[in-house]
């Protein structure tokens, strides 16, 4: 049996998002939004950013456009935040979108923290009743293992 010492960066626990619903706000006809973290992957090369996938479901005829991301996690910076438009699926009642968030660890060894994704609604038709340019906020928390730690893996060739 051979013992090999490797650094472990990949084991990450995806966590929480839940549902955001803005239909109860004072603005008539404000679309309903549901969101979830559907992927959380830390690259084995710690110099490359971690990838987070945020999937949203918004009532038609609206879709979401990115309007910023705030990171409240020490030692983590956002590299990019954009929609993966090839995965967009808009139907007659809902529009499902996947957003890719890339996070770079500057001094941190965990992604633990609170994050705020901001969006604006965009109407896909001329018949939309909700007309506001306010930013909509989706709050989510990430938790990960220490991806800087060394792990020992035992196994045979």
Q: pLDDT by residue (tens digit) across 47-61?
A: 889 999 999 999 999
Full residue range of the structural domain in which residue 25 is found: 9-124+134-143
Domain membership flag for residue 4:
no
Number of domains in the chain: 1
- Among 43-57, 63-77, 139-153, top mean pLDDT goes to 63-77
What is the CA 49 to chain-centroid distance, rounded?
13
CATH number at residue 14: 2.60.40
Task: Please indicate, yes or no, if residue 156 is contained in any of the structural domains.
Answer: no
Cis peptide before 61 (omega within 30 of 0): yes
pTM: 0.77
User: For strand 89-90 and strand 150-155, is the pairing parallel, antiparallel, or unpaired?
Assistant: unpaired
When the pLDDT of each residue in the chain is averaged and rounded to a whole number, the result is 82
Nearest-angstrom CA–CA distance, 26 and 139: 20
The reply to whether 53 falls in a domain is yes
Domain membership of residue 16 (yes or no) is: yes
């Amino acid at each position: 049996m051979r013992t090999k010492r490797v650094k472990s960066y990949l084991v990450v626990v995806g966590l929480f998002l839940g549902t955001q619903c803005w239909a109860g706000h004072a603005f008539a006809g404000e679309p309903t939004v549901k969101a979830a973290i559907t992927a959380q992957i830390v690259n084995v090369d710690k110099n490359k950013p971690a990838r987070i996938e945020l999937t949203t479901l918004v009532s038609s005829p609206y879709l979401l456009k990115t309007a910023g991301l705030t990171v409240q996690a020490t030692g983590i910076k956002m590299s990019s935040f954009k929609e993966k438009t090839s995965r967009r699926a808009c139907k007659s009642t809902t529009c499902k979108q996947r957003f890719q968030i890339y996070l770079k660890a500057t001094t941190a060894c965990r992604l633990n923290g609170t994050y705020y994704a901001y969006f604006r609604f965009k109407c896909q038709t001329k018949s939309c009743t909700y007309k506001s340019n306010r930013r909509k906020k989706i709050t989510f928390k990430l938790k990960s293992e220490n991806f800087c730690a060394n792990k020992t893996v035992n196994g045979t060739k």
